Amino acid sequence: MAEDLSKLLQITEKDLEGLPHAQQLMIKAWLNIKQALYDILGAYPQGNVLPYWYEASNTLATSNAIPAGSTGTNQIKISADAAFVACSIRGASSGDFTVQVLQDASDRQLTNEQVHSSAILGTAQFPGILHKPLLLPANTTITMNYTDLSGDVNQIWFCFVGYKVYNRKVG
């Protein structure tokens, strides 16, 4: 399979034009991912990958605060112009909390249950590194459901840090 994929990714534009439309789209998607990985790792830099930060918007209150002992929701909407590769999670809060992270595109749970904030949330100085970058398609929404553990009003901010990956022309 790896050899077959490698051969497909070395296709010429003329060869690509001769393939069925669905196969063309699949190969173009793989080429975009291949190019994004080259850009992220620093080889063959192109203009289709840019560093980017997505910060959560608290749906409960404009101050990002949740009352003591209550629950709340934060969401991040990935824009329609590009996919996003998340590499780390950063943030701040005024107290401890638990969080469960979900992705709407596939109803995929990114945590199997509520996780303590200190286990998932890093800081700008010590980011919470994702050991495998998380590819989020354009128009995806990431939802964080959290529960306060601090016993006081808790202000919570989430920021996914990574790269926007724009489509590029093949060839």
SS (H, E, C) 62-99: CCCEECCCCEEEEEEECCCCCEEEEEEEEEEECCCEEE
**Domain boundary assignment for the chain:** 2-41, 49-165
Q: Which residue has the tokens 């793989």?
A: 30
- pTM (two decimals): 0.69
Encode pLDDT of 79-113 as tens digits. 998 889 898 898 888 899 999 999 885 567 888 88
Encode pLDDT of 108-153 as tens digits. 788 888 999 988 888 878 888 888 888 888 899 998 888 999 999 8
Encode pLDDT of 6-43 as tens digits. 454 567 788 888 888 877 777 777 777 777 666 666 65
Let me know if 49 is exposed, middle or buried by CB neighbors in 10 A (0-12, 13-18, 19+). Answer: buried
Confidence of residue 171 (pLDDT cuts 50, 70, 90): very low
pLDDT at 135: 86
* Range 49-165 classified under CATH 2.60.120: yes
Nearest of 1, 47, 7 to residue 27 by alpha carbon: 7
What whole-number distance in Å separates Cα of residue 146 and Cα of residue 166? 31
pLDDT at 3: 46
Instruction: Name residue 93's beta-bridge partners.
Output: 156
Side chain identity at residue 108, one-letter code: R
